[in-house]
Amino acid sequence: MSDLSALIVGCGDVGGRLARQLLAKGWHVRGLRRSVEHLPAGVEPIAADLSDSSIPPSWPQRSPDYLVYCVAASQHDEAGYQSAYVDGLRHVLAWLAERGQQPRRLLFVSSSSVFAQKDGEWIDETAPAEPEGYSGRVMLEAERLALGSGIPASVVRLTGIYGPGREWLLSQVRQGYRVAVEPPLYGNRIHAEDAASLLAFLLQKDAEGVALDDCYIGVDDDPAPLADVVGWLRGYLGVTEWSDEQRVRRTGSKRCSNARVKALGWVPAYPSYKEGYAAILQGLG
């Protein structure tokens, strides 16, 4: 058992998985979200709307050991992102200050959208973050807010999260989805359970006194061409027909490295899309 505590702000899919993993290790976990009835069993609820600057009535009296900011924008435009990632984080930091609370570390869950590289190059945490779209620009602003908060902080840039309930690609493959083969369109992904395990791993390492970097990329071991992923899924699903249209919603192409966090000892349970999608299709994960 552990006497450590964590407050997960945005305790949804990935946050809920993180909560369950920490609870299994004996942590005390609080989860903040609008609809607390959806929190995992064992999580102490904090009902709050992050767009409201007033401190929630159920805000804890004692500081959590760790704060994980793991929200998802409910409105997918620049205003929605600004509200969820920047304004919401600013409110949470103000609530901590109001109560004189200082967590040991803040983990801010960010996105690889801060990287604009698109020529298939390998990138790591030292690569320039020069986003072209509003999502990456807002996320970078939020990262800087977290890192400048006065709380020791690390940002975790997750790549394309997939898992049960996140099955857009599977539905497209079933419809005969086409994707260009040349030049290869590299994609980066991480299973939702591995995204949570990475966060839990970093929290545990910090608790053990390991010095953490200020940035980590969350990705599996196999950034693969999208055509390879589609081809493998077609074979697994037994899809033989092709759609007449080619539907590719993305133009970026880069290969993200997980070497930094793997050097600490983290190992994904789903090292590639093959293990991850097979688990989804078998009803696991």
96 burial via Cβ count (<10 Å: 0-12, 13-18, 19+): buried
- Whole-number average pLDDT of the chain: 94
**Structure-block tokens of residue 144:** 């800087």
Is there a domain that residue 245 lies in? no
- Nearest partner of 43 among 5, 1, 99, judged by Cα: 5
* Number of domains making up the chain: 1
**pLDDT above 90 covers what percent of the chain?**
87
pTM assigned to the model: 0.95
Provide the CATH number for the domain around residue 73: 3.40.50.720
Is there a domain that residue 112 lies in? yes
Give the model's pLDDT for residue 283: 84
* HSE, side-chain direction, 13 A CA sphere, residue 74: 9
Is there a domain that residue 179 lies in? no
Summarised one tens digit per residue, pLDDT across range 62-120 is 999 999 999 999 888 999 999 999 999 999 999 999 999 999 999 999 999 999 999 99
Has residue 246 got a pLDDT over 70?
no
Is there a domain that residue 46 lies in? yes
Is there a domain that residue 238 lies in? no
- C-alpha 273/C-alpha 136 separation (Å) is 24
Split at pLDDT 50, 70, 90, the class of 183 is: confident
Is there a domain that residue 178 lies in? no
Write out the residue range of the structural domain in which residue 28 sits: 5-164+189-221+257-270
DSSP annotation of 280 reads: H
Is there a domain that residue 226 lies in? no
Summarised one tens digit per residue, pLDDT across range 227-240 is 999 999 999 999 99
Is there a domain that residue 275 lies in? no
- Nearest partner of 84 among 158, 10, 162, 195, judged by Cα: 10
